[in-house]
A and B are shown apart, each in its own frame.
Chain A
Amino acid sequence: MEATATTHSTEAHTGAPRILDREPLVLNNRSYSWITNRICGIVENKQPLLWWVLFVPSVLLTLLTVFCFTYLISTGVGVWGQKQPVAWAWDITNFVFWIGIGHAGTLISAILFLTRQKWRTSVNRAAEAMTIFAVMCAGLFPAFHVGRVWMVWFLAPIPNANAVWQNFKSPLLWDVFAVSTYFTVSAVFWFLGLVPDLATLRDRCKPGLRKTLYGIFSLGWRGANRHWSHYETAYMLLAALSTPLVLSVHSVVSFDFATSIVPGWHTTIFPPYFVAGAIFGGFAMVLTLMIPVSKIYGLGDLITPKHIDNMAKIILLTGTIVGYAYCMEFFIAYYGANKYELQTFQLRGLYGPSTWAYYFMFGFNVFAPQLFWYRPFRHNLWVVMFVCMCVNAGMWFERYVIIATTLERHLTPGSWRVYEATWVDKYTFLGTFGLFMMLFLLFLRFLPVIAIGEVKGVLPQSNAHASDHDEKGIQEEDLMNYPDRHVAKTVA
């Protein structure tokens, strides 16, 4: 058995299956208490200067959004640039953009959980937080788009005057249900994941207001295995519920367009194309946030090059799917022989008034991620950040192209008009970035940015059978899920 143990070390490899040599998920053999101290330290210590440098402008930008919405309410929706025929413009573009950002969070927390991708543990907490904040930003736009925002409760299924109920046959109402369910379930998922880590913070605090608050929100958690047993089942169930949910949300968002008869919107490829795009844009935003967070707070041992590499690969995959969808839209417009649709696509991509937006979209979303085919680029943080910034911008342009430029050239030339955004449009959108950043920075300040309990669970020493085996590679495997893997010891 001694001999087989050495065959698995990288120096003395003698043909044993290399699949057991896995990159560690936490570098430098960190201990449990190191992880606790490092992550709780972010909350407990003073924030670095950079936090304040980012926080103050974020608050100011948030106030800008508040001002713009106040101005909008007091003056009227006409302060936005949309008129007939472009009745949906930046507002719905921003809505779809922000909703899409949220999807990566749910993908990491739910789909990667169900597929046992353990590298998710270091990034899922921040990604879920990002989901919730992005959906909050998204919700503002349709709420104000309805015109009389104080009537927005009409969207809720409550019988209002004259027994008029909501039109449940409308994709716009499906959207209300999809987005509000998405927000609620994401929040429940996030909170449930936070409970054990809030208990960690509670146990480290001195008595006082903070301890009381962490105490209340950690619900009296005491890490009992009889609790963990139910808890893990609950977590798994929420992941299983969130997976179809996240796919449905952006599909429903795409129904807003796809169920219409407007050329350029009436497309069956929209649901999968929107979902892929959302995951694509969301992952770019996760990296945009997590790379600086990792650098500023010294979390390099937990958010390793492997994590960034994996996420870059997902961006490459989804970006390529999105590229396929762009091409397929064109092909179907040609092949479908609907002259209005063909005209729409020709105007979009070839000679229309807003082709510049189409080129931005295509370049940022399809060409930029192709850099990730080359491994050193996936490991160079500057390149990764550059591509992510391209994708963030590109995905906004994608929604703009679909929504606004389609409406600019409608069926009849009589209803043609090029859309121009007003300063209110621009500052409101800019301000939501402030809101998003402000919420994220407050999250960093008060809550554990990495799921402490989950990261500890993927350490090699957390395997109850670690001492039963000589081989390093097997210890990292989750033996309890695969009892027959015990025999792997003798195979080599």
Chain B
Amino acid sequence: MSTTLKRVHGFLAEFDNVQDLYHAAEHVRDAGYQRWDVHTPFPIHGMDDAMGVKRSKLPYFVFFGGLTGTCVAFTLQTLTQTTFWADIGLGFLQKLAETYPTVVQAKPTHIWTLPAFFPVMFELTILFSAFTVLFGLLSMIGLPRLNHPLFVSKRFAKFSDDGFFVCIEARDPKFSQEGTKTLLEKLGGKNIELIEDDI
């Protein structure tokens, strides 16, 4: 005989349409729940307000990601093509990178040839920003992950077609098996399921 331990993940309730889901979200927010989410096939505008979700912090990370790109491009180019680093007393960097600045296309090796470096600085700013967007996003939303308790639910697969779900997690301090279920029923939730996770 085998026994499997189960842990309650939360309650999953289905709603008929965007409007019902939106109003349900407002009520769950007002009931003071923290660890819950709605699952929809497309982003619903205004849902952040209805849920009380704050604006994403991603742009701040991306700004610094982009700045890193600019600096990398500046350093790479000035280090290899100019005497700038030696001029400010950091000649060892130039030795370290084994560089030998040469005059090409009549462009001198001092720092005032800088405009010729702008295109690459621009491109690397964009490149580093884009990577920061991708990896910043993934780390902020905790993806990729191989599995999630919600995927146990047969009905949940509808979320990517035309299903609108609310899931209130058991980790929420206000969660209770009866109270949360009653709330979801009262809001018009259908097919309310208790999602359990194998430990």
Is there contact, CB below 8 Å, between A461 and B151? no
What is the distance, in angstroms, from B30's C-beta to the closest C-beta of chain A? 16
Instruction: Give the CA-CA distance A452 to B160 in the complex, in Å.
Output: 9
Is there contact, CB below 8 Å, between B161 and A32? yes
| Contact among B18, B40, B58, B76 with A223 in the assembled complex (CB-CB below 8 Å) | B40
Instruction: Give the CA-CA distance A242 to B97 in the complex, in Å.
Output: 32
Is there contact, CB below 8 Å, between A229 and B48? yes
A196-B160, A248-B123 given; A163·B40 CB < 8 A: no
Is there contact, CB below 8 Å, between B123 and A181? yes
Interface check A480, CB cutoff 8 A: yes
Interface check A219, CB cutoff 8 A: yes
Is there contact, CB below 8 Å, between B38 and A465? no
| Total count of chain A residues near the partner, CB < 8 A | 72
Is there contact, CB below 8 Å, between A31 and B129? no
CB neighbours (8 Å) of A228 from chain B are: 40, 43-44, 47
Instruction: Give the CA-CA distance A203 to B126 in the complex, in Å.
Output: 34
Stretch from A2-10, A233-241, A359-367 forming part of the interface with B: A233-241
Is there contact, CB below 8 Å, between A181 and B124? yes
What is the distance, in angstroms, from B119's C-beta to the closest C-beta of chain A? 4
Contact residues, B37-92 vs A (CB, 8 A)? 37-51, 53, 55-56, 58-59, 62, 76-77, 80-81
Closest residue to B122 on the A side, CB-wise?
A248
Interface check B162, CB cutoff 8 A: yes
CB neighbours (8 Å) of A238 from chain B are: 130, 133
Interface check A490, CB cutoff 8 A: no
What is the distance, in angstroms, from A103's C-beta to the closest C-beta of chain B? 15
Interface check A466, CB cutoff 8 A: yes
Interface check B147, CB cutoff 8 A: yes
Q: What mask results when residues 216 to 236 of chain A are scored 1 for a CB within 8 Å of chain B, else 0? A: 100111111111111111100
Closest residue to B104 on the A side, CB-wise?
A167
- State which size class the interface on B falls in: 35 or more
Instruction: Give the CA-CA distance A178 to B105 in the complex, in Å.
Output: 21
Is there contact, CB below 8 Å, between A481 and B162? no
Is there contact, CB below 8 Å, between A237 and B133? yes
Closest residue to B46 on the A side, CB-wise?
A480
Is there contact, CB below 8 Å, between B44 and A462? yes
| Contact among A224, A252, A479 with B38 in the assembled complex (CB-CB below 8 Å) | A224
Is there contact, CB below 8 Å, between B119 and A174? yes
Instruction: Give the CA-CA distance A192 to B100 in the complex, in Å.
Output: 41
Interface check A46, CB cutoff 8 A: no
Is there contact, CB below 8 Å, between A192 and B137? yes
Stretch from B3-11, B138-146, B172-180, B183-191 forming part of the interface with A: B138-146
| Contact among B59, B100, B141, B162 with A231 in the assembled complex (CB-CB below 8 Å) | B141
Interface check A244, CB cutoff 8 A: yes
Interface check A28, CB cutoff 8 A: no
Is there contact, CB below 8 Å, between B119 and A225? no
CB neighbours (8 Å) of A178 from chain B are: 119, 123
A181-B124, A185-B126 given; A192·B143 CB < 8 A: no
A188-B131, A200-B160, A223-B40 given; A177·B120 CB < 8 A: yes
Contact residues, B108-163 vs A (CB, 8 A)? 113, 116-117, 119-120, 122-124, 126-127, 129-131, 133-134, 136-138, 140-141, 143-148, 150-151, 156-162
Max chain B C-beta neighbours (<10 A), residue from A165, A178, A225, A226 = A225
Closest residue to B151 on the A side, CB-wise?
A222
Interface check B182, CB cutoff 8 A: no
CB neighbours (8 Å) of A453 from chain B are: 41-43
| 28 A-B contact pairs sorted by A residue (CB < 8 Å) | A168-B77, A169-B105, A174-B119, A177-B120, A181-B123, A184-B130, A200-B161, A204-B157, A219-B143, A219-B144, A220-B147, A220-B148, A222-B148, A223-B39, A225-B43, A226-B51, A227-B141, A230-B58, A237-B62, A245-B123, A248-B119, A252-B123, A453-B43, A456-B42, A457-B42, A464-B19, A464-B22, A480-B45
Apart from A228-B47, A237-B59, what are 19 other A-B pairs with CB-CB below 8 Å?
Answer: A33-B161, A157-B80, A177-B119, A178-B119, A188-B130, A188-B133, A196-B160, A202-B160, A203-B158, A220-B148, A228-B43, A229-B53, A231-B137, A233-B59, A237-B62, A237-B133, A461-B17, A464-B21, A465-B19
Interface set of A (CB-CB < 8 Å, partner B): 31-33, 36, 157, 159, 163-171, 173-174, 177-178, 181, 184-185, 188-189, 192, 196, 199-200, 202-204, 216, 219-234, 237-238, 241, 244-245, 248, 252, 255, 452-454, 456-457, 461-467, 478-481
